[in-house]
Amino acid sequence: MKIVLFLYNIFTWLLSKLPLPLIYFFSDILYVILYKTFGYRKKVVQENLSNSFPEKSAKELRAVEQRFFHHLCDLMIENMLLPHISEKQIRKRCTYLNPELIETQLNKGKSVICVTGHYSNWEFLSGYQLQTKFKIVAVYKPLSNKHFDTHFKKMREKFDAETAAMNDAVRVLLRYKSSNTQTLSLFIADQSPTRGQSHYWTEFLNQETSIFTGVERIAQKTGFPVIFLKMRKISRGQYVVETEMLCEDPQSAQANFITEAHVRTLENLIREQPEYWLWSHRRWKHKRETTTSEN
């Protein structure tokens, strides 16, 4: 496995030296292989899209499906090259439209929780560490393969952000809080919880959906304001991020308010341009049981 990763790193380093038009030419080739030839998770994508947008015609769904696979291939190529991208390049690739919403909290002496989904290229968000005095902590779900888990941790920590496993997030954030270090913790909150994890059921994209309650529970425990990061793709390799305050005082919020707020904000973002969400993920693999009670 180490040899495979070594060869992979050599290949991606060489690929990163190519001009952008040629890099995205490889993405177009990957699209033909992945979508046209092998139909990678095509049935999963088609089922997710048809269930999420019953109002769309077959032609419209087909168009979203094709645009999604083009984006997925761009995403794969971009994240293959992320370990080799320079600070200057990541600044150019990802622009923050209103960072003052976040930085105002820094001036107030507060830490913040930022939440988003698997939309656009969420991996680029780690580059915000270059533009802020916050200590960025990227909260993630560890991979079962230790070699790949290490690879992705290094990728996310390239610009000096720190990674923390979901189970360790509270401990890490409270440790920084006790040392008066202001943190910006980043949560990707649209993964599918397992049956044993704390979750909440709501309607999302026309389907009953289980949602992690981790963001809300951690916000209420720490008192950190919750901000949503709306990341939009404006062209190949170019993204803009708009910030939106969801809850400035989590400890006074009603139960499930924060969870509903980030779910609705993500849902509206997806409806704007659905092709940029990760439709190949089996998001609705768990169905609600009649005996299940909301947490």
Tens of pLDDT, residue by residue over 37-48, are 999 999 999 999
Tell me: pLDDT of 199 over 90. Answer: no
Looking at residue 151, its pLDDT comes to 82
Report the candidate in 271, 234, 262 with the shortest Cα–Cα distance to residue 93: 234
Flag whether pLDDT at 148 surpasses 90: no
pLDDT at 295 over 90: no
- Average pLDDT of the segment spanning 234-260: 97
Average pLDDT along the chain: 94
% of the chain surpassing 90 pLDDT:
84
Q: How far apart are CA 14 and CA 29, in angstroms?
A: 17
- The pLDDT of residue 203 is above 90: yes
Q: Residue length, the chain?
A: 295
Q: Quick one: which of 217, 210, 183, 169 has its CA closest to 294? A: 210
DSSP assignment string, 82-123: GGG--HHHHHHHEEES-THHHHHHHHTT--EEEEE-SBS-GG
pLDDT at 99: 95
In tens, the pLDDT along 65-81 reads 999 999 999 999 999 99
Task: Identify the burial level of 10 via C-beta atoms within 10 angstroms of its C-beta, where 0-12 means exposed, 13-18 middle and 19 or more buried.
Answer: exposed
User: Is the pLDDT at 232 greater than 80, yes or no?
Assistant: yes
Question: What pLDDT is stored for residue 289 in this prediction?
Answer: 76
